Structure 1
């Protein structure tokens, strides 16, 4: 089987046959795709939770107007901002815990 010259990006694959390197690349692509899909699912879930939480908290149950009034609008702004801040803080904590492992 032909061998591909060593790749500076992944020295562990230096001695792999061409077919093995191709399957290794395909495996990495598949893993990246799965990671991207999970990230999209997470973002959609986060968006849905923010919408539900802030809607339940800020919007009156009886619609009087077709537009948000000032109180509802500022409540939604604060709610989304706080949700985002908390999500970022939790992400930083989890990232630092992963680094310390």
Structure 2
């Protein structure tokens, strides 16, 4: 548990930005999940970090339109705290980008 707490502080969404607000809007537009995004963010960040991917997939079973949805992020390090990786929303797609 201590390791997860430590890692949680190293992985962050760029909250309080227009990009994050757009991510919320896009997620809720396509997601059929009953769980609010707030309760999923830590798991989403952990999943992207462990897989070393800049996106996560909302699979078709959890989407309102029964299609896979990909949510892409740019990953930045916080300048004065190099251990922190900040994920900035970069957009949504129905197909995986190459």
Q: Which of the five TM-score ranges fits, normalised by the shorter chain? A: under 0.3
RCO higher in structure (CA 8 A, sep ≥6):
2
Output the TM-score relative to the length of structure 2.
0.24
Kindly indicate which of the two structures has a greater share of residues assigned to helix.
Answer: 1
From the CA coordinates, give the structure whose radius of gyration is larger: 1
Kindly indicate which of the two structures has a greater share of residues assigned to strand.
Answer: 2
Output the TM-score relative to the length of structure 1.
0.24
